[in-house]
A and B are shown apart, each in its own frame.
Chain A
């Protein structure tokens, strides 16, 4: 795994950690994850950072702020997220969703005091989630290899590219003065992580191998977001007859399931997580291990560009 040392030179800590950990050995190569060895190393690093820094801070945040205050914070950032989701919905030609997003933003901004309250959901306007990686996926761009990005977490080549666009499209990055933007980034990051505390605990308990659990969940979830709920259920190969005296040949699928998308990892997947409405992501994290080391969407980790002028480039060059 020579890749592993040279890939992310900017992160001194990561590099030294790599040196310590060496490169993980991969016994069973998994289709769709040719970089598994390097990915596992980065995953470990991210996990360590999360445990040492982000999670404790998030726990403190949960302890200090009451639930009500946290929802206000979540709603505020969610309103920005809705606006960006709207753009992507329109880019994908999803007119109805986009218009719903538009109405959500208008309603929450005006009646919800700049987005502090989410009246639109109560009024029956559903919240959606889109990002640029999903837009690329919508137009048939393949996901490419699975990628664990330092600090930003699970991704793929396509979704990583999408992240760059998400990052520059984030309105918070353009707020002046810089310290306000930076503060907002920090609060959003901690708030998002804090909302995932329960899910990440659950994930640690439920996973046999956290890395592979997270990968499978992430790839499944991204594909599902692209296909929509109309996607066919997976086809399973059922090796044994039902022993309990059941009637039908069990693997069924006869009726419902198209042959295409079988296993977890076959599908194209997308990039970051989402707006502040991370609750759902957390849930799938719990079951499928979706979006976690910490579950925080990658774009929220990244400070404003003026702060770190070259930041996006060092991930992807």
Chain B
């Protein structure tokens, strides 16, 4: 059971960036992209003993290689920051993006090691053919209640990119919006960057909080 609920998280992460062997991913349709990415990530996970053991370096490498190319982290961060984005300098923006990305990788990558025999089923895509913003809905089937796992993708010049995920009804962007705005209103944008940086250092060196 313990493993079970970590799976969607991990899958979400992987999916977030849309894993998949970079070359072979079908990027022409959003659901095609998600299918090939998640399949590839799951296969890699099953085959890679280092990841199974929870080797953080190895997991980070996997995430960078297979997931991040299919995500638009700037888009995600911009939505999470909301109006504060406009007040941030380019350097601040870059730092927030970087630290936020690190935080998500650090916190969720541990879950990657927990994946074993889950099966992912995609629901039919409900979107107009000329849509530029779609939700790809899927379910993770394992033991117990199926886990809803949705991806939000936007069409960019470089193809479809994931910018938000939904696990069991909770979207990532709103989940962080409130927290970011509280940090910023209390400590400013630099305070937020400092907070994220510190948290990441704690996580890197062992245990946070």
Contacts and interface: CB of A to CB of B under 8 A. Distances in A.
Interface of A: 27-28, 30, 62, 67, 70-71, 74, 78, 118, 121, 126-129, 194-199, 202, 204-209, 212-213, 215-217, 220-225, 229, 233-234, 236-240, 242-257, 263-265, 277-290
Given A255-B132, A286-B6, A205 B171 contact: no
A220 B131 contact: no
A209 B179 contact: yes
B47 interface: no
A206 B79 contact: no
Contact of B170 (A78, A217, A257): A217
Contacts of B179: 207-209, 212-213, 216
Contact of B133 (A239, A252, A279, A287): A252
B146 interface: yes
A250 to B, nearest CB: 6
A194 B107 CA distance: 20
- Of B130, B150, B158, B166, most buried by chain A (CB within 10 Å of CB) is B166
Contacts of A70: 1
Interface string B147-185: 110101011111000001111111111111111111101
Contacts of B1: 67, 70-71, 74, 195, 278-279
B114 to A, nearest CB: 7
Given A197-B2, A239-B85, A247-B157, A264 B174 contact: yes
Contacts of B133: 248, 250-257
Given A127-B144, A197-B2, A279-B145, A246 B175 contact: no
A287 B174 contact: no
Contacts of B145: 126-129, 277, 279-280
Contact of A194 (B2, B12, B158, B175): B2
A251 B144 CA distance: 35
A252 B123 CA distance: 21
Contacts of B183: 208-209
Contacts of B175: 213, 216-217, 220, 264, 287-289
Given A204-B209, A281-B168, 16 more contacts: A67-B1, A121-B144, A126-B146, A128-B145, A195-B4, A202-B6, A208-B179, A220-B175, A224-B169, A233-B152, A254-B132, A255-B127, A256-B131, A263-B177, A287-B9, A289-B170
B157 A240 contact: no
Contacts of A213: 175, 179
A279 B5 contact: yes
Given A240-B78, A254-B133, A196 B168 contact: no
Contacts of A280: 5, 8, 144-147, 168
A74 B3 CA distance: 14
B7 to A, nearest CB: 8
Contacts of B114: 198
Contacts of A205: 106-107, 199, 203, 208-209
B122 to A, nearest CB: 13
Nearest to B133: A252
Q: Size class of B's contact patch?
A: 35 or more
Nearest to B144: A277
Given A237-B82, A250-B154, A279-B4, A28 B170 contact: no
- Of A238, A265, A280, most buried by chain B (CB within 10 Å of CB) is A280
Contacts of A281: 5, 168
Interface string B106-144: 111011001000000001001110111111010000011
Given A250-B154, A256-B131, A288-B171, A265 B178 contact: yes
26 contacts: A28-B185, A71-B143, A196-B5, A199-B5, A206-B107, A213-B179, A216-B175, A216-B178, A220-B174, A224-B168, A237-B82, A237-B83, A238-B78, A240-B86, A252-B154, A254-B131, A263-B174, A264-B174, A264-B178, A280-B144, A283-B8, A283-B168, A287-B167, A288-B170, A288-B172, A289-B175
A250 B75 contact: yes
A246 B157 contact: yes
A286 B174 contact: no
Nearest to A230: B126
Interface string B28-60: 000000000000000000000000000000000
A220 B172 CA distance: 10
Contacts of B3: 198
B98 interface: no
B170 A221 contact: yes
Contacts of A279: 1, 4-5, 143-145, 147
Given A198-B6, A204-B208, A237-B82, A229 B137 contact: yes
